[in-house]
Structure 1
């Protein structure tokens, strides 16, 4: 429980600081996403509080894309609340998220998320989807990566088993003609699995989290279903690498 306490305190401090910075300097989103979220919050939290190191493996074409400043949609498995910190720590490009429209209405937090480029969408609302596509296109042009968990929920017991994907994020990527990058987080689930808020001490030999970024997937002449199936296969393949 002590690890969880320090993690909560650290998260509250850095998130609060990010909100304050964005309130007084709306154009400081790069500073918030890279200097605060990546270098000051996520990396130290994982190394010194959780007790793990992050090992990153990136496909060559994907690295070139991420470093080009064009942005992409990251489709990743979801095993733990720590996945967000792992994504921040591992990705070479700034990351924002696909979030529920209701978060946009939360005082301070909603505004801060909007300023860094978070994409908000309301399920089943065509007008919301249209605005989300426009927002996604704008976010990508800023060189942001939008992180989506297409399984829709965390895997049971932190198993890391990839569940069937849902179409929502793929509809957005397809309509925005955005490149998709399959991502797999390995070794995160057991540290903070679904159903608990207590960070577990990594076992001896299990203190390395591996993050694999696969080759980019492009729309070409496919469909939403074919795009989703191709990505599902790619993420499952990364889980065995």
Structure 2
């Protein structure tokens, strides 16, 4: 019965995604309203309707750990396509993304990312990847918040894989606050390889920010491991509840 309902619902999900992406492109390209695009279209327009249509509730804790006036790097585990709408809906700042280059060719999503001047990273080319990291650092210095998924791809089994270095190179060089974010439940609702989402709850936990200068002896790899440790701890807390 759930699959039949989703077959009827999914066309509206895709249509709403297209309408939201088109709205974002119009606001960004024609009206030059990039900040409005980032604050309104993903979190207020697109994601809430998507979750409502699919019968999924998203809960949040740790809002007090966000300082909107302090540019930060949010680092989040990645186990489902649902992670992105959950983050843009429940993290109340204008989020900039570092997206893998392959998404540039994706209809609507790639158009939206390009129109809103997000950063693409070529993971197969080390020099270009580092150049993308430098662009991200510059955006942060200009007062932008950045959301990253340092595992690099979705976890197939729900476990949190090793965090890649890119986000933490930026953080260490600029002493930029790192905010760990743990998403629980999204992988069970819509794991990689699945098309039909289950009903359920997604829990988004926002941890305390920490700066590289808090741990001056740590290398980039150590910072990545520390962020991963915190994300795993928050995720485990939800599994025990």
Q: Same fold (TM over 0.5)?
A: yes
List runs of 5+ in structure 1 lacking aligned partners: none
Partner of 1:34: 39
Aligned to 1:53: 57
Do residues 17 (structure 1) and 15 (structure 2) align?
no
2:161 paired residue number: 163
Counterparts of residues 80-119 of structure 1 (less than 5 Å): 80-101=80-101, 112-114=112-114, 116-119=116-119
Give deviations 1:69-118, integer Å, cap 9, x for gaps: x3211111111111110001110111121123465688997675355342
In the aligned structure 2, how far is the partner of 1:240 from the partner of 1:127? 36
Using a 3 Å threshold, how does the CA distance of structure 1 residues 79 and 236 change in structure 2: closer, same or farther? same
Query: Contact 2:29/2:115 (CA < 8 Å) preserved in 1?
Result: no
Other structure's SS at 1:182 match: strand
CA separation of 1:104/1:4 partners in 2, compared to 1, >3 Å: closer, same or farther?
closer
1:193 match:
191
Normalised TM-score (structure 2): 0.83
> How big is the shift at 1:229?
1.1
Q: Distance in 2 between matches of 1:127 and 1:100?
A: 15
C-alpha contact 2:182 2:234 (8 A) present in aligned 1: yes
- Once the two structures are superposed, residues 133-171 of structure 1 have per-residue CA deviations (whole angstroms, 9 ceiling, x without a partner) of 3322332244432121112222225x3x21222223322
In the alignment, what sits opposite 2:137?
137
Does 2:232 match 1:228?
A: no
Contact kept in structure 2, 1:94 and 1:144, CA below 8 Å: yes
Asked if the contact 2:18/2:108 (under 8 Å) is kept, the reply is no
Tell me the secondary structure at the aligned position of residue 45 of structure 2.
helix
Query: Structure 2 stretches of 5 or more lacking a match?
Result: 1-6
Q: Distance in 1 between matches of 2:48 and 2:109?
A: 22
Asked whether 1:212 is paired with 2:218, we answer no
**Whole-angstrom CA distance in 2 between matches of 1:127 and 1:229:** 23
> Residue 52 of structure 1: CA displacement?
2.1
Distance 1:169 1:54, change over 3 A: same
Asked whether the equivalents of residues 101 and 122 of structure 1 are also in contact (C-alpha less than 8 Å), the reply is yes
Contact 1:119-1:136 within 8 A present in 2 as well = yes
Q: Is the 8 A contact 2:21 2:108 kept in 1?
A: no
